[in-house]
Amino acid sequence: MSKSAHIAFIGLGQMGMPMALNLLKAGYDVVGFDLSSEALQALAERGGRIAASAVDAMSGSDVIITMLSNGKIVQSVLLEGDAFRQAPKSALLLEMSSSAPEETRSLAAKVSGHLRVVDAPVSGGVKRAVEGSLALMAGGSEADFEAAKPILGAMSAKIFHCGPVGTGHAMKAINNYVSGAGVIAAVEAVLLGRAFGLDEAKVVDVLNSSSGKNNATEVKMNQFILSGTFGSGFALGLMAKDIRTAANLSTSLGLSQPGLTQTADLWDDAARTLGGAVDHTRFYDYLKRQGD
């Protein structure tokens, strides 16, 4: 896809905004839409064009990128009134939201014949979105993936083609299950150590120098949890949703995976207890309450 491509970017939140800005830095023409007027103003101030609606953004765009909260919102934006048909025939849809793989395949079936679809969710958080160093998991045909690669490369340093449409979102859910399980293990380890009289920071230091090291111990415990900042930029409700997506996928495939089920149940309860809008590193507060 050449730099002359017109890109509609729908969803300029904490992750979407830096991703859209990286496309601008790479020389692409970006027209954005978001329900937040502040986000639209911020994009305009950085050289992007803004649209009055998602439909207006899609009109005439060679590429549509959706970075929204879930697949149901994506479907409502694209399908209501056949809005996706405002884009030229054979335009490329990059569905980068955290959606369920079954929803993605359903959406692709509904828009096929007019749009080419690649699901391409990301992992890495706000800092890596700003840096352009996200990990990106893509699902789609070889031809559509190759067409999308130059655009994805402006937002991500690590791009993995996982298979046909839907496999990107399946991989994202699987990844977040492992991430969420790692948070549970790290927080419980720190709370266990503290109860025995160990210094919490010392527990983290030893884990990070030993076989217990994981993403939570490396980039979350000291930086966001023990520091008390709780500012990773990823909401607890979104983590719970992604892990539940993995659990639902497992059930639909007839698998019995008690570890996944229990992890999903814990994150769902944490979201109910603390509220889904809080940072996911607040899971520490949830588990701490269980032991008090």
Distance CA 13, CA 32 (A): 11
Q: Which of 110, 127, 158, 172 is catalytic?
A: 172
Task: In whole angstroms, give the CA distance from residue 51 to residue 188.
Answer: 46
Are 129 and 18 in contact by the 8 Å Cβ rule? The answer is yes
The DSSP line for 97-153 is S---HHHHHHHHHHHTTTEEEEE--EESHHHHHHHT-EEEEEES-HHHHHHHHHHHH
Please indicate whether residue 172 is annotated as part of the active site: yes
Q: Within 10 A of 100 (CB to CB), how many other CB atoms are there?
A: 24
Residue 19: how many other CB atoms lie within 10 Å: 25
Alpha-carbon gap, residue 96 to 169, rounded angstroms? 9
Helix axes 283-291, 258-274, angle to 10 degrees: 90
Cβ atoms 164, 140 nearer than 8 A: yes
Retrieve residue 158's tokens. Answer: 């690590």
Could you tell me if 62 and 7 are in contact, meaning their C-beta atoms sit under 8 angstroms apart?
A: yes
Contact 181, 257 (CB under 8 A): no
SS3 106: helix
Answer whether 190's CB lies under 8 Å from 204's CB: yes
Residues marked as catalytic: 172
